[in-house]
Amino acid sequence: MTRTAYAVAQAKVNLGLRVLARDASGYHAIETLFHRIDLADEVRIQRTDEERTLAVGGPMVPPDGLGAPESNLAWRAAEAYWQAAGWDGGFAIQLEKRIPVGGGLGGGSADAGAVLRACDRLADRPMGQHRLLEIAATLGSDVAFMTSSAPAAIGWGRGERLLEVPTLPPRPMVLVVPPFGISTAEAYGWLAASRTGPVSRPTPASARAAQPDWRAMELASNDFEPVVSARHHEIAEILRVLRSVGARPAMLSGSGSTVFGVFDGTQPSDLPRRLATLLPGMQLVWTRTAARVVPVAVTG
């Protein structure tokens, strides 16, 4: 019987994001606190004799699909693992999309990280997390965190330098997904154009994150918020509404377009209905911050 690895690809939010100066290669360095949430894609992968396939379904697949399979991060992660492991043959990946695409929640990176962890569970000689993180760093900025076993971590550089920190107590969270995406490259361009002087050194965000609590997170900020809100006034309105109903913090995740609000659990039971009325035309996804990374399961 063919063995199948099943992985839960949890999304993330950025509980604060500083964009620093460009490094020698032209990329902006960042400082952020990554935190996983319960909302997740589902990934299944098997080894095959020859053929390599990717089947994608689920409620968050865009009407025009996700493009060529070979460009999908899940596919690229499997190929990278196959090459590093020296495996022959192919793979069959099934991907159920539940994370909004292109919204700053790291869905593609989560899929890639889940594939790497799943492949290692299928291996007779697992590579271990250190080697997986090395592979992940070649695939994208958030992939290392999404591959790690850390529910929360400070990220530096392009996000590949990680320091695991204690998780925050789980709290209910709403994700507000506007009917448009935001290009990460454009957001970086807007931010660069808005800066007239040298970028300051990091604020003590990492010091707050070393022993995080929700009250400290209320002071966090995202450098993309002002420039994104200036061009998409809907973002500013979402933030205003979330804060008016008690979300602490309420923040853009990554470069957007998703905005999240965290609640302390004391809000009235009709809050989902109220938010749906206050934010017409917006998709609302209710979830929670995560206390753990769900382990990979293997059957067969």
The residues facing 262 across adjacent strands are 173
DSSP three-state, residue 268? coil
Contact call for residues 225 and 104 (beta carbons, < 8 A): no
Is residue 12 flagged as an active site residue?
Answer: yes
Closest CA to 19 of 169, 164, 144, 191: 191
Partnered with residue 173 across adjacent β-strands are 262, 287
The single-letter DSSP state of residue 69 is G
Q: Write down the catalytic residue from 111, 120, 142, 223.
A: 142
Kindly name the residue from 12, 41, 97, 223 that is annotated as catalytic.
12
**Which residue, 99, 103, 32, 45, is CA-closest to 75?**
45
Q: Tell me, what DSSP letter sits at residue 66?
A: S
Among 145, 141, 4, residue whose Cα is nearest residue 132: 145
The token duo for 111 is 């899929």
Is residue 38 among the annotated active site residues? no
Please give the structure tokens belonging to residue 219.
């002071």
Report which of 8, 27, 295 is spatially closest to residue 160, judged by C-alpha positions. Answer: 27
The secondary structure of 185-245, three-state, reads HHHHHHHHHHCCCCCCCCCCHHHHHHCCCHHHHCCCCECHHHHHHHHCHHHHHHHHHHHHC
Q: Which residue has the tokens 């997904």?
A: 177
Active site residues: 12, 142
